[in-house]
């Protein structure tokens, strides 16, 4: 009998690996679309990706797949839910049960609209013209409502879409988490605003030549552990990371010669995603033990390297002399202290990806509330720019002067990624809790960073997070690593310990 189950399991794995070849091909088309594709190719690219998504959906919902999973669900191979086979069976059945609820026509239309939508978004953002993007955005939310209805949900449609990015999570809990964060962050941000201290941020607005930015940020990404023999760095309108195979991870960034933070911290962020992808078990590629647990855990890795490491004083104690050599006209006469204060400036800003650590989650709260209202038909797509601007005035005390700096700044909705934004805040929480535990386990991380030693932290992350793939849920992983459930306390502690000395807080 065990031989029978083993044969079925091998068929399941072979099927999944073949499907992974197709999904990698679809990802390759998506990467090219956002980096190298000529503008006039957008419509044909949409048809290519639509065809592929339909074929992939057919494979993922085949009747024989359901039969295999049904036989394996109660087999000895599934007895240990955290073993390779147990994880593969459990997670594959979960995905199969979801996907069979989605009509192929809906899956294909979602793909086509996302492909066309990203092209329309990029043009609209460049032209600062929301009206040209509005019809595709309206169609996107119409399709996402249909997706939520097909999948089913507990309390509201947002639950169904959130589950795609953060399995098992609920809108009600996200609402509570963000409210708790806001309650803890507002007094801190207020105290900073009234501290009477401000860094000289003009340091960051001097001319940093693009070619040197690329060299410097690429070197930093390699130093913290991104393997360029298994990955590459390219330019795009909105940075992202995508995996195209077990040894092919693509990260992207964008350059602004008059703002240092954009490319450097954007590259560290995407390198963090890439390090996670490169740390997943290659021998299980295409199977759940080699796939990320959730977008929140994925974001924890990018936010950890970008902020808890990359914005630390110890990191710059090591890198600042190299930065001065790379950008002598900008930094030769500056001190480490002045530069460190500048990159940790806290003040309300318009652009999410350039926001400081303390105000960042308020940007997420705005997007969460707006996309939830759009999905529930409580806000019309035509009224979104005004609603966006009002939220920024309410939560951050500033108002965008253009839609390009407002409602058009993020690519996510154009790509159909509704329910994605809360994972950024979850990532901040996970990152802080993981980092605190790593510091306790490894000793003084600051001392290691100051000497350019990042391998111990990288190995700790690989062993405790990356290597597990989807063996544990996000909540189980946090409990397993830290011995505690997820809490906002480590993030608030981190922010206060860093910012209190800079702003003279008590």
Smallest CA-to-CA distance from 413 within 450, 448, 386, 375 is with 375
With CA atoms as reference, report the closest residue to 108 among 47, 170, 36: 47
Using CA atoms, how far apart are residues 292 and 143, in angstroms rounded to an integer?
26
Pairing type for strands 231-235 and 248-253 reads parallel
How many CB atoms lie under 10 A from the CB of residue 330? Answer: 20
* Residue in 167, 150, 121, 40 with CA at minimum distance from that of residue 477: 167
For the chain, give the longest Cα–Cα distance. Answer: 75
| Residues 263, 253 contacting (CB under 8 angstroms) | yes
Residue 252 β-bridge partners: 234
Other CB atoms closer than 10 Å to residue 165's CB: what's the count? 20
Tokens of 181: 């964060």
Q: What are phi and psi of 245, to 5 degrees?
A: 160, 175
Catalytic annotation, pick one of 270, 299, 306, 357: 270
Is 270 noted as a catalytic residue in this protein?
yes
* C-alpha separations of 369 from 120, 122, 185, 366, 400 in Å: 24, 23, 18, 5, 18
How far apart are alpha carbons 110 and 54 in whole angstroms? 10
Please say whether the beta carbons of 469 and 291 come within 8 A.
yes
CB contact burial 4-34 (16+ within 10 A = b; e otherwise): ebeebbeebbebbeebbeebbbbbeebbebb
Report the catalytic residues: 270
């Amino acid at each position: 009998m065990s031989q029978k189950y083993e044969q079925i399991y091998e068929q399941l794995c072979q099927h999944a690996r073949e499907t992974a070849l197709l999904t990698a091909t679809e990802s390759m088309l998506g990467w090219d679309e956002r980096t190298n594709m000529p503008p006039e190719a957008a419509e044909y690219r949409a048809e290519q990706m639509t065809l592929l998504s339909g074929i992939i959906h057919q494979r993922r919902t085949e009747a024989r797949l359901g039969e295999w999973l049904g036989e394996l669900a109660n087999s000895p191979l599934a007895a240990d839910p955290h073993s390779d086979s147990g994880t593969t069976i459990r997670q594959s059945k979960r995905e199969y049960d979801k996907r069979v609820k989605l009509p192929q026509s809906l899956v294909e239309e979602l793909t086509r609209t996302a492909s066309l939508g990203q092209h329309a978004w990029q043009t609209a953002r460049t032209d600062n013209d929301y009206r040209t993007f509005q019809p595709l955005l309206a169609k996107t939310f119409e399709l996402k409502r249909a997706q939520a209805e097909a999948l089913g949900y507990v309390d509201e449609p947002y639950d169904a879409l959130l589950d795609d990015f953060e399995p098992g999570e609920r809108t009600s809990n996200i609402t509570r988490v963000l409210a708790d964060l806001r309650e803890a962050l507002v007094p801190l941000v207020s105290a900073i605003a009234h501290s009477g201290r401000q860094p000289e941020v003009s340091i960051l607005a001097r001319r940093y030549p693009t070619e040197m930015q690329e060299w410097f940020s690429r070197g930093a990404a390699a130093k913290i552990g991104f393997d360029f023999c298994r990955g590459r760095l390219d330019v795009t309108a909105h940075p992202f990371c995508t995996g195209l195979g077990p040894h092919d991870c693509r990260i992207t960034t964008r350059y602004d010669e008059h703002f240092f933070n954009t490319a450097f911290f954007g590259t560290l962020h995407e390198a963090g995603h890439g390090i996670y992808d490169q740390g997943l078990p290659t021998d299980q590629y295409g199977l759940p033990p080699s796939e990320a647990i959730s977008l929140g855990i994925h974001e924890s890795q990018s936010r950890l390297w970008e902020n808890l490491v990359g914005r630390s004083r110890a990191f710059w104690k090591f890198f600042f002399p190299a930065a001065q050599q790379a950008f002598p006209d900008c930094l030769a006469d500056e001190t480490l202290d002045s530069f460190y204060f500048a990159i940790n400036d806290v003040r309300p800003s318009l652009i999410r990806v350039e926001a400081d650590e303390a105000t960042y989650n308020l940007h997420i709260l705005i997007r969460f509330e707006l996309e939830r209202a759009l999905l529930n038909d409580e806000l019309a797509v035509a009224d979104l720019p005004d609603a966006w601007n009002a939220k920024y005035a309410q939560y951050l005390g500033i108002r965008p002067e253009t839609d390009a700096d407002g409602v058009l700044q993020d690519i996510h909705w154009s790509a159909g990624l509704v329910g994605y934004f809360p994972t950024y805040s979850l990532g901040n929480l996970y990152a802080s809790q993981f980092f605190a535990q790593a510091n306790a386990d490894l000793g003084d991380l600051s001392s290691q960073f100051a000497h350019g030693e990042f391998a111990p932290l990288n190995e700790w992350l690989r062993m405790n997070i990356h290597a597990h793939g989807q063996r544990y849920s996000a909540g189980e992983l946090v409990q397993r690593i830290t011995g505690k459930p997820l809490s906002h306390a480590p993030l608030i502690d981190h922010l206060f310990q860093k910012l209190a000395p800079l702003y003279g807080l008590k």
